[in-house]
A and B are shown apart, each in its own frame.
Chain A
Amino acid sequence: MIDDYEDGNALAGPLSEIFTFDVTTADTRCAGCGRTGPVAGLRVYTHAPGLVARCPGCEEVVLRVVRTPTAAWLDLRGSVALRIPLAPA
């Protein structure tokens, strides 16, 4: 069912294996429509193999992550940029 999705918050655990910062608090710009918003606000579909995060504006796939026993595949082609909040340098 296309309406069965979770928020980008659900990516926090799986992505914590890959990144040392909390990616869900970063802002992402959608390659499809240019919408900018927190990764936590994406729509995450868990029925696909792995996790598929879509833009809440245009439904373009922004991010995909698939975990195998020995590796993680991270596909960010739907994301123009990630803006990651950092402490002042």
Chain B
Amino acid sequence: MARAAVPGRLSWRVARLTDTRAETATARTLVFDVPGWPGHLAGQHVDVRLTADDGYSTQRSYSIAAPADGDRVELTVQDVPDGEVSSYLTEGLSVGDPVEIRGPVGGWFVWRPADTAPVLLVAGGSGVVPLMAMARARRQAGSRTPFRLVYSVRTPADRYYAAELRRPDPGLDVAYVYTRAVPEGSSRPPGRLAVADLNSGGWPADFAPDCFVCGPTGFVETAADILLSLGHDARKIKTERFGPTGG
């Protein structure tokens, strides 16, 4: 049933794919042009809706990977095995093809360039996407707020944005936690995120940093518990968990 959009409420917009980049063997960054896009904050997400010719419709949430830039919206999508939406977005969608996007949504898990507290970003796997938007927003704004990123991935080949994170970005420190295989010469054996990783890769609790944690539920739980045990204030720890629904 057609209904005029109510001002202030979000409605679906047609987005067209303009570019794609491979991040890993199974993840792609998709760049969309969304006419009339109202802009967004780093950390916000969008809902993407696909509708088949027979009317079957399904939607998923994806974090935005880059700060606001006109009508441009960048998502990085991990291809989930048997994921009907992620597979279509990473393999079935061609430049010029449309999808529907609603957003931006979520005003809590966000970083604003005017924020001055030091920032700790803790990423598990594809949870790095909204955190990368924050690091990019910092650079775009010329902010001098110090950032640290602790990024947990299975192996070096699973890193998103590897080349960009290798380039020096003064004020952004990056530490990797490899859980399955480490690069040659690494002194840390492979293993899950532990107290020492956030103790050495993060900020002392005395600095009262804003902590953003994003990843699978178990990872977020572990990271948040470690931060609490290191003395960080619960109100300074913001989390975004991926559910099991992915796809």
Contacts and interface: CB of A to CB of B under 8 A. Distances in A.
B217 A17 contact: no
Contact of B243 (A8, A10, A19): A10
Interface in B71-95: none
A5 B217 contact: yes
B45 interface: yes
A12 B105 contact: yes
B158 to A, nearest CB: 22
Contacts of A18: 9
A52 to B, nearest CB: 12
Interface string A1-40: 1011111111011001111111011000000000000111
B94 to A, nearest CB: 26
Interface stretch (B106-114, B160-168, B186-194, B198-206): B106-114
Interface residues of B, number: 27
Contacts of B243: 4-6, 10, 44, 46
Contacts of A41: 108, 239
B218 interface: yes
Contact of B241 (A6, A12, A70): A6
Contact of B217 (A6, A8, A16, A47): A6
B9 A13 contact: no
Interface in B123-171: none
A46 B45 CA distance: 17
B13 interface: no
Contact of B9 (A17, A46, A47): A17
B1 A70 contact: yes
B218 A9 contact: no
Given A1-B244, A4-B244, A46-B243, A9 B106 contact: yes
A12 B217 contact: no
A5 B108 contact: no
A24 B45 contact: no
A22 B9 contact: no
Given A1-B244, A3-B218, A7-B240, A19 B9 contact: yes
B106 A3 contact: no
A12 B130 CA distance: 15
Contacts of A7: 109, 239-241
Interface in B224-247: 238-245
Nearest to B7: A20
Interface string A70-81: 100000000000
A3 B217 CA distance: 8
Contacts of A9: 45, 106, 108-109, 240
Nearest to A45: B243
Interface of B: 1, 6-10, 45-47, 61, 102-103, 105-109, 217-218, 238-245
Given A5-B217, A13-B46, 15 more contacts: A3-B218, A4-B244, A6-B243, A7-B241, A9-B106, A13-B61, A13-B106, A16-B102, A17-B9, A18-B9, A20-B7, A20-B9, A25-B108, A40-B106, A46-B245
24 contacts: A4-B217, A5-B217, A5-B241, A6-B240, A7-B240, A9-B106, A9-B109, A9-B240, A10-B243, A12-B106, A12-B107, A13-B10, A13-B45, A13-B46, A13-B61, A13-B102, A19-B9, A20-B9, A22-B107, A24-B106, A25-B108, A40-B109, A41-B239, A47-B244
